[in-house]
Amino acid sequence: MKYTLNSNNNSATDNHDCVILPIFTKEKKILLSDAAQKADNISTNKIQTLLDQGDFKAKTGNTLMLYNLENIKASRVLLLGYGDEDKLNSKSFATIASSACKALKSKNIKNASFYLSGNTDTQALEVTQSILAFSDCLYQLQDYKSKPEDAPLLEELVISSTTDFSSESQTALKHSIAITKGMKLSRDMANHPGNICTPSFLANTAEELSKTFDSIQLEVLEEKDMEKLGMGAFLSVSKGSDEPGKMIVLQYQGASDKSEAPIALVGKGVTFDTGGISLKPGASMDEMKFDMSGAAGMLGTLKACAEMELPINLVVILAAAENMPSGRATKPGDIVTSMQGTTIEVLNTDAEGRLVLCDALSYVGKYKPRVVIDAATLTGACIIALGHHISAVLSNNDELVNDLSNAGEQINDPVWQLPMGEDYKKQLKSSFADLGNIGGRAAGTITAACFLGEFTKDYKWAHLDIAGTAWSGKDSTGRPVPLLSQYLINQANS
């Protein structure tokens, strides 16, 4: 899909297959945007006449396709409801653009001109959300279909304005295209089946990324390397599978000072999670291929960062393993020793994500990061708490939480902070080891973060639980690539 910007003061002369025109509503009155008004004037008020008949309500995301309007060059005009222009934000812009794409993709339309609202203050935001929404709407993975479905014909979106585009909008175009590339990589990785996307597959994909960008260097720790480092927590998960675990380390150096302390991103990469000996129920177990969405998101974020050429340093660690039951698998009640020397009683082998992450979080300390952010589909309890709309964030640093929250609001990939504290840590007490790997049913998302917090005391750290947001039904969403990409953009600009 090709995305471009175009300033055109007269939408009536636009000769794309379809012209998309914003229509507002306020106090039950319908208002034409500047672009719509110009088209209406040329078409002898055909648009206003249609609107006056009352068949189109300009609520957020409503659409009405018109054909062959008098004196309009485009053969199709899509009226697009924006709702109250005083209440527009990143979420409503995403909804609006998504509705436009859905109205177009089933039609014989190869290119479209999408006119923005006309508000110069929100122009860059509209550019970003339009590109992200169209990319999401048009996404397909058909690698495994013997007879692939027809792809949408739409191949070019021209984002148009009756005023000049600001430099911020030009930057937003570059950044949002990069983010969509990162999201596509993340979604593809998560959507691949577990028999394809193994820890080795993740490592091979990371290698391809490092070959594509000179700014990225790769190192892969094999199980023998992890044994030497004492990563007993990670290995307690991977040893039950015939697929060898991998600790995949990628470094991106974009800062002018290559010795500048990096931002560290750590992703849970359990490429399939049966639960191990604590076997999951069979229903919906196929969705456990998505349990590597944290790693997929970090890999996608790294690609977006490299595409944007952000002037920052990054270290990205993907803790990749497969959690399987076998004669070698860890048993409930087994005690293992983590890289930092903490002993862990594995009370439930289905709480494996925190075991691969805790050694990764210990290992990342060698890079002396300025902040560390991990992402994981860690707990079903997070879905109960926040549903599928908002990711949870838990942290030992309020400034980092604020930075992530602000980035999420900017790009419509929100987070919500949950508490941490000593009372919750008490639930992890073990009778026989330093820690248990679960803290009971109560506050499961919080106690999981408290467990990770025992391995992150030496640096600023935030944990993103994306169990409810990483996939929707049977399809990956690509989150939290937008959130983390926007966070990195903000850090690069600070």
Per-residue pLDDT reduced to its tens digit, 429-462 = 999 999 999 999 999 999 999 999 999 999 999 9
pLDDT band at 25 (very low <50, low <70, confident <90, very high): very high
Does residue 230 contact residue 328 with C-beta atoms inside 8 Å? no
Does residue 485 contact residue 307 with C-beta atoms inside 8 Å? no
Q: Is 492 exposed, middle or buried (0-12, 13-18, 19+ CB in 10 A)?
A: middle
Say which residues have a Cβ less than 8 Å from residue 404's Cβ, sequence separation at least 6. Answer: 373, 393, 415, 462, 464, 483, 487
Does residue 482 contact residue 411 with C-beta atoms inside 8 Å? yes
Domains of the chain, first to last: 2-144+151-162 (3.40.220.10), 179-493 (3.40.630.10)
Q: How far, in Å, CA of 64 to CA of 153, rounded?
A: 20
Reported as a single tens digit per residue, the pLDDT across 376-399 is 999 999 999 999 999 999 999 999
Give the whole-number percent of the chain exceeding pLDDT 70.
100
Tokens of 329: 């698998």
Which member of 181, 239, 268, 354 is catalytic?
354
Reported as a single tens digit per residue, the pLDDT across 51-94 is 999 989 999 999 999 999 999 999 999 999 999 999 999 999 99
Dmax of the chain from CA atoms?
83
* First-residue to last-residue Cα distance in the chain: 31
Which member of 280, 370, 425, 460 is catalytic?
280
Q: Give CA 187 to chain center in angstroms.
A: 9
The per-residue pLDDT for 459 is 97
Q: Is 354 a catalytic residue?
A: yes
Does residue 209 contact residue 165 with C-beta atoms inside 8 Å? no
**What is the DSSP-derived secondary structure letter of residue 68?**
S
Say which residues have a Cβ less than 8 Å from residue 437's Cβ, sequence separation at least 6. Answer: 344, 345, 346, 347, 348, 351, 354, 355, 428, 451
What average pLDDT does the structure give for the chain?
A: 97
pLDDT band at 252 (very low <50, low <70, confident <90, very high): very high
Evaluate if residue 12 carries a pLDDT over 90: no
> Is the whole-model pTM more than 0.85?
yes
